[in-house]
Amino acid sequence: MSWKQEAKRKAADRAIHHVKSGMVVGLGSGSTAAEGIRALGERLRNGELTDVKGVPTSYQAIQEAIKVKVPLTTLDEYPELDMGFDGVDQMDHDLNAIKGGGGALLREKIVASCCREYILIADNSKLADILGTGQAVYCEVHPIAVTPVMRKLEAIGGTPVVRQATGKLGPVVTDNGNNLIDVDFGPIKDPKALNQRLHSVQGLLETGLFIGYADLAYVGTETDVLKLTK
């Protein structure tokens, strides 16, 4: 196991220790969140936790939860969640993040907005002094709006690319039936302002800028797990 994988596992385990019996928990997507789902399943299996339900953020999260027998529910049944956890593509020291490399950003943000406590987990290669440094901002876009949105993103100063699928021809299609545009803005001086500006673009349904959602983060290093708070 590489040090990054071990760091993700340790960070995820720390996050899962916030889960108490009877809680309803938002389940993130991606390889780091999958470590958390597996850790949650293990604690349920060995009896450390009981009566925990998860709200998944993607089909991938559903599959991971089913594998380890984490009971699933929905926001229709539980519109307010006790906590949630998820990985990041990049995070600054104020706990603002860029997410969406796995294409689940819209559902991830909806679930994040419903959590009383929201925890990010990562290895320390994901930390950056300034968001956007060597990292694109992911945007979920309605299929009929791809071309006009691309033009507006260029006018804002971004370099947009429609994400292409691997293993099939054509663009990536999200769990919601939309497309993804990955936009390079370079280092972002004001992520909140950029997020607001992107939301003014018609047809752009959600951004991967997660600003102000996280309460704390666990960041795995080669030797330790750091706890970051606002």
Q: Taking the CA atoms of the chain, what radius of gyration do you get in angstroms?
A: 17
Rounded to an integer, the average pLDDT of 79-87 is 98
Domain boundaries, given as residue ranges, for the chain: 3-126+211-223, 137-207
Q: What is the pLDDT of residues 164-187, one digit of tens each?
A: 999 889 999 999 999 999 999 999
| pLDDT value, residue 60 | 97
Catalytic residues: 108
pTM: 0.96
CATH architecture of the domain 137-207 equals 2-Layer Sandwich (3.30)
pLDDT score for 75: 98
Closest to 112 in 3D by CA, of 9, 229, 207: 207
pLDDT of residue 103: 96
Let me know the angle formed at the C-alpha of 147 by 145 and 148, rounded to the nearest 5 degrees: 70
Q: In this predicted model, what pLDDT tens digit does every residue of 87-130 receive, in sequence order?
A: 999 999 999 999 999 999 999 999 999 999 999 999 999 999 99
What mean pLDDT comes out for the span 49-72? 98
Helices (H), the chain: 3-16, 31-45, 59-67, 105-113, 146-156, 191-199
Q: Which CATH number does 3-126+211-223 carry?
A: 3.40.50.1360
Burial zone of 96 (CB within 10 Å; 0-12 exposed, 13-18 middle, 19+ buried)? buried
The stretch 191-202 carries a mean pLDDT of 98
What is the pLDDT, as a whole number, of residue 4? Answer: 87
How sure is the predictor about 138, in pLDDT bands with cuts at 50, 70 and 90?
very high
